[in-house]
Every structure is written in structure tokens, then in C-alpha cells.
Amino acid sequence: MASKKEKEYLELIQELQKCKGIGALITSIQNHRDRFDEKFFFILDNQIKDAAEQGNQKLAGSLSYLNRVMDNLQIRQNISKTEYTDAMEEETVNEKEIEEEEEIEEEEEIEEEDLEEAKDEKIENDDEEYIMEVDDSIEKGELLDALMKMVDLVIDKKLSMNKVIEKTISKDVVALADNETIKQINALSNKLKIQIPHKSHVFATLLYELANKINDDELIAQCSLTLASTKNIMGMYEESIKQSEYALSFLEKIDNEQFKGVALGNIGNSYYRLGEIEEAIDYYNKALEHCKKINDLRQIGSATGNLGNAYYRLGDLDKAMSYYKEALEISKKTGDRRGEGNRRGNLGNIYIEFGDIEEAIEHYLAALDISKEVKDIRQAGTALGNLGNAYYKLEEMEEAMEYYNQALDISREIKDKRGEGNRLGNLANAYSESGDLEEAIDYYLDSLNISKEVKDKRQAGTTLGNLGNTYYKLGEVEEAKEYYKQAIEVCKEIKDINKEKTWNYNLGILYEDNAKELKMSYNHYKNAIKILEEMKDKIKKKSQRKAFGELNLDMYAKMFLLCLKMDKEEEAKEYLNKEKSDSLKEILKNKYEELKEKPSQEQASLKDKLEKFIK
């Protein structure tokens, strides 16, 4: 006898089977998303098996179709991804194996000409076989299934994108593509972009081509927006801007106010990724203004959160925190749990900057819990990476590396190249801090290659600076200088002033090691302190401004001591007065005690100069 729960699952299966058309089925599945678990799919699998064994082909086909649609929606796959704690083991290939494989490939090239004609014939036969699989779904009237099969064929490299587009705009597929169904499938593609960006991008490309073939302006606009979003996620930022502008032209043409804010926000996101922050802020403000005009509270939250990101990049932490808090409240009001998770994570980043690590961890854990609740594996990866950063700050390297590895596994699983680059860089930081410098360099170089591939200038700047740190630790000073200089140039270009401050300060430390380069050291310290004070002046809350200053006291101490070395005592006094802090005085006292133990003439001279200020 079936239990109450089993009866509920059987009734749900019957309800889904009664849906008229793919659009209605997708909507119903999304509405019941929280009810699906392993038990549901166990019952569905048994229903399919029983129907097949009883010879009821119609029922078996209907249930199998429902199962395929749910697979395409990633429902079953996401059930097993509610926990993100087990890190996968990493497989490596040594250099000798790679060299042997290359030699074998060269030997096979001799025979390739004789086999070329036979290969071409086999490829054509394979193409026909794959197309027949798609035709099977088309004959059954299953448009979503046909499209998803074509997406998989591209992803698995069994068919070229051009071949699949040709099939997508064929009359057989177009005949199945009514406007409402395409809108529903496009909405699905938009939702999947977070979980499976590469697959979603192919999906969005096919829908965009189909919308153009149907020649419906509203469909073209909506499918263009989704394609623009996937291009942004895939690192195709310039193309994403053009696609969003194209969508915007159609939205203007059909006078559709609803999606204009989305298009403006998409353009802002691409400029943000390109490091053109003022341009991004301009578009975010346009999006915010438009969404307020049409009273779209959810999109107001998105634009507000994006403004927080932009001001965070510009080093205006106070303004960033204000936007994040405002966006968080909107998320709670609208029930946007995914947005709430994003804003929690962003606030955690601000607390890290203020040195409040425990508060940051609390926000990161909340973001991780929400990601599990909404089954957003990408957001889970971000939260895990942020937790790694927090434990790195606490100097708990084993804990940090455990979180970084989990985040890296997720990035690779969902083919998130940008995320993979970030996590490789984070792991490199942990290896460097643990003293494994050669391993750290390998990870940094892998991260740098990915950041160049996806055009992530911000990550490239960070990695170049970290390579400078690592070579400095190895004593390879010239190499370190070059990496620091490259990092500073990249950060200037994208206006990442926080990192520009850091790399100037580090380069100043490096130059100070050489008595002949004190002037260079002085210039870089001065640049770093100028940025630091600009950032600090923007923090309105006194306690947070003080905390931010305390985190950067070493910078003032270094500049003060360098001024004494260079006989700039009046300027040294100015820096001491700028940051009146007991902690700074303690740093200088400790330096004085250290100098007392060093008998060299140069150190004795510095000790005597410092003594006047200490006493």
C-alpha cells in the first residue's frame, strides 16, 4: 500500500502529464521545484519501468518525455548538489607522458592523407545519425527535447554550431515554434545560465537564431537579452554590449518598457568586467532610473547591488556598503533569495576590508546556506571561495585551502573559467603563505592564462601582483619588479585603486631594500598613501574609518622611517601626525628596540633620529 507521501508524488506526476504544451509543462515544473527530491525520481523511474514491462508504450513514452524535460531543466541533477563539502582529487599528467603522446601524433600524420576521404565519409554518416536523433524528437512534436539534443551535440563536439543552427532554422523546427513556447524556453535558458553557462550560451544562440527566423520583434529582443547575458558570463564582453544594444533597439521599436532596465544593466555589467567602471556606473544609474519609473522593485534591487559592486571597485567602501544594504533590504522585501545571497556575500567582502573577519564569515555562511536552498551551485562556489579568503586572513591556511579546493571543483564542474582562474589564484596565495613558492607560481601562471583567455583584467592585475610577491620572497628582485609594474599598470587602466595601492606599497618595500633606490621607494609609498587617504576620506562612519586606517598602519610606519632615512624629518612628522594612533606608536617603538640591537652605522643613525620622536 502506497504511503501518503508516495500518493502525493503519483498525483504530482499525473498533474505534470496533463500539461498542454511545453510552455505549460515548464511553468508547472518550475512552480513545483521545491517538491522534487530523490524519492520523487525513484517513483518516476519505477513508473516508467512498470509501464514498459506492461507493454503500455503510450504511458511509458509520456513518462519518459516528462523525465527528459526535467533532466533538461537540471532538476534531478541539482538535487544531488545540495551539499558542497567533498573536494574532488586532482589528476595530473606528467611531462614525459605528454611528450610521448606528441611523438605518436606526428607519426600518424604520415597516414592521414590516405585516410582523409574515408574520414570525410564517416563524418557525413555520423552527422546524419545525430540529426536523425533530433528528427525523432521533432516528429513527436517535442521542441524543447530537440533543442536540448542539438545543444548537447555542440557541447560534445559531435556537430558544429553552424550545422546545428542550420537545423534549428529548418522549416520542421520553425513549425513547432509558437511564440509562447519560445518565450518559455528562453526564460528557461536564462535561468540555466548560472548553473550551466556554456550549455546555456549554446541554447541561447539557437533560440536567438530561431527568433530571427520567425521574425518576431518581441522574441528577437528577449532572446537577444538572454544571449547577451550568456556572452557576458562567457567573457565575451564586447560582443555582449553589442547584443544588448541590439536588443535595446528592438525594445524601443516595440515600446517594451519591462526589459529596458535589464538591457541597460547588461551593458553596465559588461563595462564593469572590462574595467570601465565610470561607464558601468552610468549604465547602472540609467537602469536604476528606468526601473524606478516603471516601479520594478526586483530590478531596482539588481541595479542598486551593481552600483555597490562598482563603488567597491573604486575603493569607495562606505558608498558600496550603503548600496549593498539597500539592495539586501529590497531582496528580502521581494523574496529574491538568490539576490539576498549575492548581497550577503558582497557585504562580507566589505567587512573583510574593515578587518571584521567574524562578521564577514557570518555573511558568507548565510550566502552559502541560501545557495543550497535555491540550488545555485555557482553562488555556492563564490561563497566557498569567500570563506577561503576569510580563513586566509585569519592565517588558517589548511581551512582556507579546503574551501578554495571545493570552490575550484565547482568552477570546473560548471565550466566557469573566470571562477576557476580566481580560485587558482587563491590557492596560489595559500601555497605562497605556506612557503611552497614554486607550487604557488605554477598556480598563479595557470590563473593568469585563464584571466587572459576570458579577458578578466581585474584578476590579471591581482595575479601579476601576487607573482611579484612570490618572486620577491624567492629573492628574484628584478623579476618581482617587473610583475609589480605590470600589475600597477593594469590596475590603473581598470581603476582598481585598492589593488593599485597594494602593489605600489609592495614595490616601495622592494626598492627600499637597496639604499641607491630610496627615491623610487619614496615615490611608490607616496602613491600608495595618497590612494589610501582618498579611500579613507570616503568612509563616513568614524569607527569604520578608524578600523580601515588601523589595517594600513604599516604603510605610515614605513613612510615615516623612510623619510627619516632620507633626512626628511619635517615630512616624517607630518605622516606621524596624520595617523595619530597608539598602535602606530607601538610599531615605531618596536622598530626602535630592533635598531638598538643592530650596531651598523646606518642603523645607528636611523635609531638616533627615531629616538627623538619616540621620547
Q: With 50 as the cut, is the pLDDT of residue 484 above it?
A: yes
Q: With 90 as the cut, is the pLDDT of residue 537 above it?
A: no
Q: Tens of pLDDT along 98-108?
A: 222 222 222 22
Contact by Cβ (8 Å): 566, 522: yes
Q: How many helices (H) and strands (E) would you count in the chain?
A: 32, 0
Q: Tens of pLDDT along 290-347?
A: 999 999 999 999 999 999 999 998 889 899 999 999 999 999 999 999 999 999 999 9
Indicate the pLDDT class of residue 474, thresholds 50, 70 and 90: very high
Q: For residues 59 and 378, what is the distance between their CA atoms, to the nearest angstrom?
A: 36
Indicate the pLDDT class of residue 210, thresholds 50, 70 and 90: very high
Q: Range with the lowest mean pLDDT among 24-28, 388-392, 439-443?
A: 24-28
pLDDT at position 292 is: 95
Tell me what percent of the residues of the chain surpass a pLDDT of 70. Answer: 88
Q: With 70 as the cut, is the pLDDT of residue 228 above it?
A: yes
Q: Give the angle subtended at the CA of 425 by the CAs of 554 and 546, to the nearest 5°.
A: 30
Q: Tens of pLDDT along 170-199?
A: 998 888 888 888 888 888 777 777 667 788
Q: Tens of pLDDT along 10-40?
A: 888 888 888 876 667 777 877 787 788 888 8
Q: With 70 as the cut, is the pLDDT of residue 110 above it?
A: no
Half-sphere exposure of 369 (CA within 13 A, CB side): 8
Comparing 533 with 590, the larger pLDDT belongs to 533
Indicate the pLDDT class of residue 116, thresholds 50, 70 and 90: very low
Q: For residues 5 and 402, what is the distance between their CA atoms, to the nearest angstrom?
A: 38
Indicate the pLDDT class of residue 439, thresholds 50, 70 and 90: very high
Q: Range with the lowest mean pLDDT among 18-22, 111-115, 200-204, 410-414?
A: 111-115
pLDDT at position 38 is: 81
Contact by Cβ (8 Å): 279, 271: yes
Indicate the pLDDT class of residue 90, thresholds 50, 70 and 90: very low
Q: With 80 as the cut, is the pLDDT of residue 89 above it?
A: no
pLDDT at position 335 is: 93
Q: Tens of pLDDT along 543-567?
A: 777 777 777 788 888 888 888 889 8
**Cell, residue 184:** 518559455
Tell me what percent of the residues of the chain surpass a pLDDT of 90. Answer: 43
pLDDT at position 403 is: 96
Torsion of CA 447, 449, 450, 455, to 10 degrees: 120
Count of CB atoms within 10 A of residue 481's CB? 18
Kindly state the DSSP code that residue 541 receives in the 8-state scheme: S
Q: With 70 as the cut, is the pLDDT of residue 86 above it?
A: no
Half-sphere exposure of 461 (CA within 13 A, CB side): 24
Nearest CA to 326 among 302, 290, 352?
A: 302
Indicate the pLDDT class of residue 569, thresholds 50, 70 and 90: confident
Domains and CATH numbers, the chain: 1-17+38-68 (no CATH), 160-255 (1.25.40.10), 256-314 (1.25.40.10), 336-415 (1.25.40.10)
Contact by Cβ (8 Å): 557, 545: no
**Cell, residue 40:** 520523487
Q: For residues 418 and 438, what is the distance between their CA atoms, to the nearest angstrom?
A: 23
pLDDT at position 385 is: 95
Q: For residues 390 and 94, what is the distance between their CA atoms, to the nearest angstrom?
A: 33
- Mean residue pLDDT across the chain: 83
Q: For residues 404 and 388, what is the distance between their CA atoms, to the nearest angstrom?
A: 5
Count of CB atoms within 10 A of residue 132's CB? 9
Is the pTM of the predicted complex or chain greater than 0.85? no
Residue appearing with cell numbers 571584521: 356
Q: For residue 375, give the 3-state DSSP assignment.
A: coil
Nearest CA to 300 among 309, 283, 287, 312?
A: 287
Q: Tens of pLDDT along 346-359?
A: 999 999 988 899 99
Q: For residues 325 and 320, what is the distance between their CA atoms, to the nearest angstrom?
A: 9
Estimate the crossing angle of helix 57-72 against helix 143-155, to 10 degrees.
Answer: 50
Q: For residue 379, give the 3-state DSSP assignment.
A: helix
Question: How would you class 219 by CB atoms within 10 Å of its CB: exposed for 0-12, middle for 13-18, buried for 19 or more?
Answer: buried
Cα 574–chain centre separation: 42
Name the range with the highest mean pLDDT among 128-132, 133-137, 434-438: 434-438
Concatenated DSSP letters of 67-121 = HHHHHHTTHHHHHTTS---PPPPPP---HHHHHHHHHHHHHHHHHHHHHHHHHHH
Using the Cα atoms of residue 192, residue 193, residue 196 and residue 200 in order, give the sign of their dihedral: positive
